[in-house]
Amino acid sequence: MRIDATNAIVVAVGSTRRPKVDAVREALATLVPILAPGTMFEVLAVDVPSRVRHTPLSPAEMMAGARERAEALVRTARERGEVWKYFVGLEGGLDVIHDRDQRFAFLENWAYVSQENGACAFGRSGSITLPDALAKRVIDDGIELSQAIDEFAGEEGVRDKQGAWGVLTHDLVTRQDAVRDSVINAFLPVLYGNLYAAGRCPKS
């Protein structure tokens, strides 16, 4: 929801990719009744680095990438003298698990939300298994997931549309849907900080 920033709570997002930014807007619209009816947001997209590989291969790496993006936003706000209330870092990748001599690669998304008062939390989407051929291209051949899914789907620019999620689920769940869920899951512990004793961020 794009409105007059002078009357809005500014939410900075560490990405300029449309599915991610739209996912944050959608998550905030869902959360308005919890925050306060009539709350207005200005979603500000800022391209910041994650400092992890192009396709993370573990939850720990996805968490690190999401947190780094949010912390980069905090640093940017300080340098510019901006008053941004929430900082949202997003990272997607694979959770690679070996079970009974079989390898599973689960596609998932992570969000990290921090607030100007120091509260923070991680949120995680659901997950879906990658077909073996696609997992091999990413894990064994080192190909970025965005390139591999284009090859797999026979399309171009999949990550800026339905994403790998949409391809694998026939658009029942899109990339935007998965990111939205991770953002909602990250915001809730921040909004209900009294229920989460560990919801304070370390000083950056």
Name beta bridge partners: 120: 114
pLDDT given at position 133: 95
- Please report, for the chain, the start and end positions of each structural domain, with discontinuous segments joined by +: 5-128+174-195
pLDDT tens-digit profile, the chain (204 residues): 333 345 688 999 999 999 999 999 999 999 888 766 777 889 999 999 999 999 999 999 999 999 999 999 999 999 999 999 999 999 999 999 999 999 999 999 999 999 977 889 999 999 999 999 999 999 999 999 999 999 999 989 998 899 999 999 999 999 999 999 999 999 988 887 667 654 566 655
pLDDT given at position 199: 53
Does domain 5-128+174-195 match CATH 3.90.950.10? yes
Q: pTM of the prediction? A: 0.90
